[in-house]
């Protein structure tokens, strides 16, 4: 599998769901408590971040098992906004899988 196909799948599976998660939480907030919509936007962002933190390591494993070079995958995933640079504070929020 090519790096670009893995990146495309990653964008669809990881980043694309984050937007609806935030919008749904915000919509619920506007219906339930319009004066506290900001709280629901923050809650949606947190849930979106948890989604990202959970799915990124699984996506990496998925790509690795399909023969994608991990170094190139990381390089282009960072360039396309799919992941954070290795060692960054945000990268450390990933829910690593136990081997």
Report yes or no on 65 lying in a domain.
Answer: yes
Report yes or no on 98 lying in a domain.
Answer: no
- Model confidence over 81-98: pLDDT tens digits? 999 999 998 888 998 877
**Token pair listed for 10:** 């990653």
Band the pLDDT of 55: cuts 50, 70, 90: very high
Report yes or no on 32 lying in a domain.
Answer: yes
Q: What is the DSSP letter of 97?
A: P
Query: What is the structure's pLDDT at 99?
Result: 63
Report yes or no on 99 lying in a domain.
Answer: no
Report yes or no on 63 lying in a domain.
Answer: yes
**pTM for this one?**
0.86
Is residue 68 within 8 A of residue 1, CB to CB? The reply is: yes
3-state secondary structure of 8: helix
**Number of domains the chain contains:** 1
Give the structural domain span for 62.
3-93
pLDDT, mean of residues 39-62 = 95
Query: What is the structure's pLDDT at 46?
Result: 96
3-state secondary structure of 1: coil
């Amino acid at each position: 599998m090519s790096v670009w196909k893995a990146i495309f799948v990653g964008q669809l599976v990881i980043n694309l769901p984050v937007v609806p998660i935030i919008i749904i939480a915000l919509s619920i907030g506007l219906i339930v408590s319009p004066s506290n919509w900001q709280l629901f936007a923050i809650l949606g962002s947190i849930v979106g971040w948890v989604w990202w933190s959970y799915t990124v390591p699984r996506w990496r494993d998925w790509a690795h098992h399909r023969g994608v070079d991990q170094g190139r995958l990381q390089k282009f995933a960072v360039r396309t906004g799919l992941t954070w640079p290795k060692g960054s504070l945000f990268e450390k929020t990933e829910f690593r899988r136990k081997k």
